[in-house]
Structure 1
């Protein structure tokens, strides 16, 4: 079997650490693309002369693309090989980033963001690469570091946006940052990702199309519901369509010989609990980022709370410490997962996140109090994300790795969409009007932010309950004898691919 991997083009000179760094960089890129535009949406509208509704599509379009293509990219990687699919996704992302950086049209900016949505497929593909390219004893830590880049990327993106757009600077700078980062990841991927073959099989394009349409019908009203009206016929109709189409997708998958997502995979207890936990953590992450951003930028002289922070101060003073802490929690989480198991790590992360949200809800009068709360929440999010790939890999076969992590990515996206929608709705519904010499100004009440942080804590609590009761304490292998042989082959290939670094911890039987 090692000889077959060699003929497939595995380069033994590529260190395993370079593979891990490359996959973490790819996940960092997609997280950055997701978050980068959030603080500058008003500036985009001002500089392009676009309405708030049109500007909202700058974020919505990327999310909709991600929901449609992520499962397909994961399956394509499993079937045809992950290296070529990652490189293709990065080329599409680069094209979208360049378009967004050079255009002066809101329509073309949205088109660029649509293309950037291909980057969301990088996470499941990255986890699949690690599973194939690394020996088992190095896999847990590598997946933890890679997954924790989700939280790090979001935090760094907010800081970078503040630095690049201070003083009303051209918002296009953030997209040039995307261009540069995408080029770096593209070069690293071309060098570092081994040319391991795919698992074979067929791609259920019909199922991918149905799932994509169903997810679009679900996410579109979540992102636009506040503007359209939650009780409008358009919103209700799309929600109903989402339920019907997604139910039809399940029926279709059960009748398909090689489905995109096996129904048995969706309802497998540890996988289902992990996916629901991902939704909860996605909600909590956006309740922190959006809630804190709006809170600290509120003028305290008018509202009686807040810090009148500029975008730059918000990014550097309030967000940067949490982002820095997140950078160090990935390796720590990897060690914890190896020592106590991913279930307990996820549970611990959720408890820490609940504490952080409770602190933000109660203590937010000083800069130090807010920073401490944000640091705790960011660390919890990074550790929680770090535990999930291991939970999935323990419960799915090699041929299901890409799709399983794709569904997990979608659940995070859905959670983030729900979190964004509820935060915006809460802040818009609980307002107080203040009389100023320039005219009346309506701002959210302080209790609206308490509700926002309280809801984030509730979702951390729900994720903790899922980890405690939904995931078994000991997870038995779900692999068939054929899949167990595939796992051993992948491990052998991983040892060969990383033969240029120290493998003293590897099993002597595999040597």
Structure 2
């Protein structure tokens, strides 16, 4: 919950922060961009660190960083120090892959799918809770955004106590030296990629700065691959990175992150449009938009998470991903064709919530079934990054689309408002993202076997063998196990 809260906590209060600190829209946007960038850097580094040196101490360190950042954000009146606090809060994203690694170690095979689905489902709950809490804490004539960050401090403190008391220490660690060169080059690649994506609307998509950073990202990608193929004990094993199930699961994560954030941004903006001026929308406040239109999606996501875990065990993660994506296509088709009533938006959101939950339930199972035990943290960390990149792309695309065509002849003094057709186009594009997830699952995610690059001693444990249907169902389990034995014998 804390992971997703850090992503959306400030979205409803950006205008309050801008007003209180007397800064520009471009400057205050760094309050969200800073967390996105730091999360991209911290997540793979700390995920790998947890694999090497233990999940529990790494989780404790992550939560301490987040508490420090939240206290700083809650006490400062400087934009610079607020951004520094948000950078520290970005470390929270590493909690997700670390949590899945703990589950893989501690849960019995029969309960592993359900546990991962439940933990994944809380991502959607955290987003909704953050939106509602931020709206409630900043109500009134004199809103104070600092209260929102004190809430983050309190929840992180509770989580820290829970980890200290209830999370067991890792029974085994890989040890080894941290690949600092690989970490630095990966961090540079992610910053160079995400910075122009998140700021391109402000800078201009054709500006020298935006295009230059995209070119630099391509160059840095080549440098990172070269480094990871050259060093001993790389942070990211390139063979794991391009292993077919891992590669296509990350691609599915990219599309899922895009679709999920498109619904969040599109609906939040749509319902706040003043109907008397635009001819559409409901003139909702930020709080009403969060509680009435977005919260139902997050609630159904938590309820559907358990069903997603059951489906992963029954029909396999691959087909669970397909079923979820079909729900997503239906939800966005509904939004595209009929977003003129509150009932339509809420019911379509429920379908999308189910789709997101099923996707979150399926992807960790696909990853866990496809990588050796000692690479669980880094593999799930990279999957988290793929979703973050998808969310960043969605933010940039939807924002640009809404700004590209506005309503003419608005009264003097009224800011530019998007034409309704831009919302329709945004929802249609998000629906296509779910169509792509169906294609990825059916074509790209064929039956997975033990990774060919894993040594015999690192092949799937009995817990992972339970995830054999992750690629296709119970009928394929025997074939998967035969391939595992053949791979081990060959090694």
Provide TM-score, normalisation by structure 1.
Answer: 0.88
* Equivalence map 1:393-472=2 (5 Å): 393-436=368-411, 438-472=412-446
- Equivalent residue, structure 2, for 1:112: 85
* Equivalence map 1:363-402=2 (5 Å): 363-402=338-377
Q: Secondary structure at the match of 1:444?
A: coil
2:35 to 62, 68, 82: 62
Q: Deviations over 1:371-428 (max 9, x none)?
A: 1111211221122111111000000001110110011011111101100000110011
1:160 to 115, 133, 138: 133
Q: Deviations over 1:328-357 (max 9, x none)?
A: 111111111111110001111111011101
On the 8 A contact 1:433/1:441 being kept in 2, the answer is: no
- Equivalent residue, structure 2, for 1:178: 152
1:49 to 3, 19, 22: 22
Separation of aligned partners in 1, 2:350 and 2:164: 35
1:77 aligns with 2:42: no
- Equivalent residue, structure 1, for 2:485: none
On the 8 A contact 2:43/2:385 being kept in 1, the answer is: yes
1:215 to 161, 172, 190: 190
1:38 aligns with 2:41: no
**Structure 1 residue 463 displacement after superposition:** 1.1
1:324 to 284, 289, 299: 299
**Structure 1 residue 198 displacement after superposition:** 1.6
- Equivalent residue, structure 1, for 2:106: 133
C-alpha change, 1:234 and 1:444, in structure 2 (3 Å) is: same
Aligned length: 461
Separation of aligned partners in 2, 1:490 and 1:276: 22
Separation of aligned partners in 2, 1:317 and 1:118: 31
Structure 1, 253-262 or 83-92: larger mean CA deviation: 253-262
1:239 aligns with 2:214: yes
- Equivalent residue, structure 1, for 2:239: 264
On the 8 A contact 1:210/1:245 being kept in 2, the answer is: yes
- Equivalent residue, structure 2, for 1:89: 62
On the 8 A contact 2:117/2:308 being kept in 1, the answer is: yes
**Structure 1 residue 484 displacement after superposition:** 3.5
On the 8 A contact 1:159/1:319 being kept in 2, the answer is: no
CA RMSD of aligned residues (A): 1.5
**Structure 1 residue 200 displacement after superposition:** 2.1
Q: Secondary structure at the match of 1:443?
A: coil
Separation of aligned partners in 2, 1:222 and 1:157: 24
Separation of aligned partners in 2, 1:349 and 1:280: 13
Q: Which blocks of at least 5 consecutive residues in structure 2 are unaligned?
A: 466-491
**Structure 1 residue 490 displacement after superposition:** 10
Separation of aligned partners in 1, 2:208 and 2:462: 54
Q: Deviations over 1:117-157 (max 9, x none)?
A: 11011111111111111222221111111112222211222
Separation of aligned partners in 2, 1:138 and 1:115: 34
Structure 1, 90-99 or 160-169: larger mean CA deviation: 160-169
**Structure 1 residue 488 displacement after superposition:** 5.7
On the 8 A contact 2:108/2:463 being kept in 1, the answer is: no
Q: Secondary structure at the match of 1:346?
A: helix
2:119 to 146, 164, 178: 146
On the 8 A contact 1:434/1:440 being kept in 2, the answer is: no
Q: Deviations over 1:194-229 (max 9, x none)?
A: 112322233211100000011000000001001111
Separation of aligned partners in 1, 2:240 and 2:463: 23
Separation of aligned partners in 1, 2:464 and 2:63: 25
- Equivalent residue, structure 2, for 1:277: 252
On the 8 A contact 2:53/2:173 being kept in 1, the answer is: yes
Separation of aligned partners in 1, 2:69 and 2:92: 10
Separation of aligned partners in 2, 1:429 and 1:226: 10
Q: Which blocks of at least 5 consecutive residues in structure 1 are unaligned?
A: 1-27, 492-511
Separation of aligned partners in 1, 2:274 and 2:29: 24
Separation of aligned partners in 2, 1:388 and 1:304: 41
Separation of aligned partners in 2, 1:166 and 1:335: 40
- Equivalent residue, structure 1, for 2:489: none
Separation of aligned partners in 2, 1:347 and 1:444: 33
Structure 1, 234-243 or 440-449: larger mean CA deviation: 440-449
Separation of aligned partners in 2, 1:47 and 1:358: 40
Q: Secondary structure at the match of 2:300?
A: helix
On the 8 A contact 1:62/1:114 being kept in 2, the answer is: yes
On the 8 A contact 1:132/1:490 being kept in 2, the answer is: no
**Structure 1 residue 167 displacement after superposition:** 3.0
Separation of aligned partners in 2, 1:326 and 1:172: 29
**Structure 1 residue 435 displacement after superposition:** 3.0
On the 8 A contact 2:2/2:155 being kept in 1, the answer is: yes
